[in-house]
Chain A
Amino acid sequence: MATVISMRGEDVASNHEPELSSAMEATVAKADPPQKAAPVKARPALGARLGGMAGAAAARLLPTLLMLVLFLGAWQIACQDEGSALPAPSKIWTESHEVIVHPLKGVIFDAGGMHIDETGDVGVGGHILTSLQRVAYGFSLSVIFGVALGILIGQSVFAYRALDPLFQIFRTVPPLAWLPISLAIFQQAGPSAVFLIFITAIWPIILNTAAGVQNIPETYRNVGRVLALSPIEYFRKIMLPATVPHMFTGLRIGIGMSWLAIVAAEMVQGGTGIGFFIWDSYNSSLLTDTIVALIWIGLVGFTLDRIVGWIGNRVARQA
């Protein structure tokens, strides 16, 4: 989108070949005099543009809001009966009021930064933060190792033939299937959850990075060879920028899978984290709390995905 906007006003000029020879000029000028005379389009005033953007945003959001209202309304009507197994939105609001309005209960901010109360009486936001921290550790590890391994198998045919079958098999293993091994190795809930995130997120990162490296156009490689770029220069100037879009596709899939895996892992392991919160509320027959947690999980997962996507777009434009 941004490129399209920035190109406005220049597109008329860029259709033109600068002319060198007077002979050629005559030919070309005859071919397209209207373009030469065309004035450059003026940009509309800032206020008008902002107004236009607000209008466009409203037009995009309106259907979503409408859908939301319809959905909540239908839910409310369908589950209004006292005996309904699924609580209606109004019931969720009244019964889980405490959970909704005090998400950060038990999260302590002081000079030493942020802590989460060890005694266990923690709001839904606190559990989310615990889960996010585990995802941050596990995902960072998988980015480091995933990108390195992806570049390795993308560059070397030997490494690709050696490792790719292995990766293809491992990537189909569901995250939770790793949990027993992870628990056996690490003994504790925290580190084993981090390992689970790592082992879940790494495969799409490896495979997409490798695909990116393999798909660097031959001509870019030849530019590097003609310029006699050193391997480090080649990596920085050509391989990395050419691979970034693929890499971020992998990172985006990876962060989504991490978030799926952490909730499942915490449900099984117990202790802390948003997965545990869900399991705990279910066991305490607080289904309304479970639904609040589900909404939180969805919103956080959505935000994570958008953050990675946004960084990817920024990096791809910069690189």
Chain B
Amino acid sequence: MKHQPYLLLEGITVTFPTPGGIFTALDSVDLGVEKGQFVSIIGHSGCGKSTLLNVVAGLVKPSEGVVFLEGQPVDKPGPDRAVIFQDHSLLPWLSVLENVLLAVDKVMKSASRTERREWAMHNLELVQMASSASKRPAELSGGMKQRVGIARAIAMKPRVLLMDEPFGALDALTRASLQTAVMNIQEQLRNTVLMITHDVDEAVLLSDRVLMLTNGPAATIGEDLAVRLPRPRSALESAPLPVYQQARQAVLRFLHQRYSNPLDAAA
């Protein structure tokens, strides 16, 4: 039998009806991701990155094509494909712990109350937010909210972790500190991760593979780059390495030469 990747996207095409006719956002995207791989998807804004992630999440139904997870087709959202949203989307009326528990209660139905609580606290500890468990999201800074968003997602023990520009709304220092947090967690949990980003360094630093999307409409994967940086990585130690620089150059060339921002061409 032929080897089938852990997560497999086959011929994913997404079209939207618009007043001006049918708009094709994604055009027959094929992609295989192995278990435990950290894969980034990078591209200019509006190219359909988030649509691709939402298809895997089951939030958007593809017009054509199928998503297979461990050989089984998936077409609905579910906690096995946890999403870390860009705006963290914590529920403001729940405390930090309750936000995580909402997810834990859903995936650990057979566990006792104490076990579920312990699991939620354990995941908050992983993101260093255990001390804020009883606070409301409004009392937290943007970076801390996103840490809780990460805790909520990994507490679901997802088969695939989906990150939709998770650090896009954060300032540079906070972003660096969260990237480190994600790398540490990834060392421990070895999740299969699909991350959307528009930050070249973030993609290279965190990923095993960087997928570069062509410009929309009808975007597809233009280049698939393996990043063979040794792990554990850190921003300070990995950035000067030639492998890092080469990968970074490759992504930059793709984004600024082969598929430059459509708005630049117009200017």
Chain A residues with CB under 8 Å of chain B are 3, 7, 10, 14-21, 23-24, 27-28, 31, 217, 219-220, 222-223, 225-229, 237-238, 241-242, 316-317, 319
**How distant is the Cα of A226 from the Cα of B149 in the complex, in angstroms?**
13
Q: Are B184 and A228 in contact (CB under 8 A)?
A: no
Between A and B, 9 residue pairs with Cβ closer than 8 Å are: A7-B139, A14-B135, A16-B141, A21-B234, A23-B235, A222-B89, A226-B79, A226-B83, A228-B77
Contacts A18-B128, A27-B176, A226-B59; A241 near B89 (Cβ below 8 A): no
**How distant is the Cα of A219 from the Cα of B174 in the complex, in angstroms?**
22
A36: shortest Cβ distance to chain B, in Å? 14
Q: Are B177 and A28 in contact (CB under 8 A)?
A: yes
Residues in A with CB closer than 8 Å to B173 are 17, 27-28, 31
Main SS of the interface on chain A?
Answer: helix
Q: What is the total of A-B residue contacts with beta carbons within 8 Å?
A: 96
Q: Are B128 and A24 in contact (CB under 8 A)?
A: no
Number of interface residues of B (CB under 8 A): 43
Q: Which residue of A lies closest to B107 (CB)?
A: A227
**How distant is the Cα of A15 from the Cα of B177 in the complex, in angstroms?**
14
Residues in B with CB closer than 8 Å to A316 are 93
Q: Are A23 and B237 in contact (CB under 8 A)?
A: yes
Question: Of B79, B83, B139, B178, which is within 8 A of A14 by CB?
Answer: B139
Q: B81 contacts the other chain (Cβ, under 8 Å)?
A: yes
Contacts A222-B83, A225-B77, A237-B102; A24 near B91 (Cβ below 8 A): no
Residues in A with CB closer than 8 Å to B156 are 227
**How distant is the Cα of A307 from the Cα of B85 in the complex, in angstroms?**
38
Question: Of B78, B128, B143, B144, which is within 8 A of A228 by CB?
Answer: B78
Q: Are A23 and B85 in contact (CB under 8 A)?
A: no
Q: Are B59 and A227 in contact (CB under 8 A)?
A: no
Q: Are B176 and A24 in contact (CB under 8 A)?
A: yes
**Chain B residues numbered 176-190 whose CB sits less than 8 Å from any CB in chain A:** 176-178, 180-181, 184
Per-position binary interface string of chain B over residues 67-96, scored 1 when its CB falls under 8 Å from any chain A CB and 0 otherwise: 000000000111101110101010101000
Q: Are B106 and A229 in contact (CB under 8 A)?
A: yes
Residues in B with CB closer than 8 Å to A3 are 136, 138-139
Q: Are B91 and A220 in contact (CB under 8 A)?
A: yes
Q: B194 contacts the other chain (Cβ, under 8 Å)?
A: no
Q: Are B57 and A226 in contact (CB under 8 A)?
A: yes
Q: Are B79 and A238 in contact (CB under 8 A)?
A: no
Residues in B with CB closer than 8 Å to A227 are 79, 102-103, 106, 156
Closest 9 CB pairs of A and B: A219-B89, A18-B128, A21-B180, A23-B236, A225-B77, A241-B93, A17-B143, A20-B180, A227-B106
Q: Which residue of A lies closest to B162 (CB)?
A: A226
Residues in A with CB closer than 8 Å to B87 are 219
Residues in A with CB closer than 8 Å to B178 are 17
Contacts A3-B138, A28-B173; A241 near B82 (Cβ below 8 A): no
Question: Of A17, A23, A241, which is within 8 A of B234 by CB?
Answer: A23
Question: Of B59, B93, B140, B180, which is within 8 A of A24 by CB?
Answer: B180
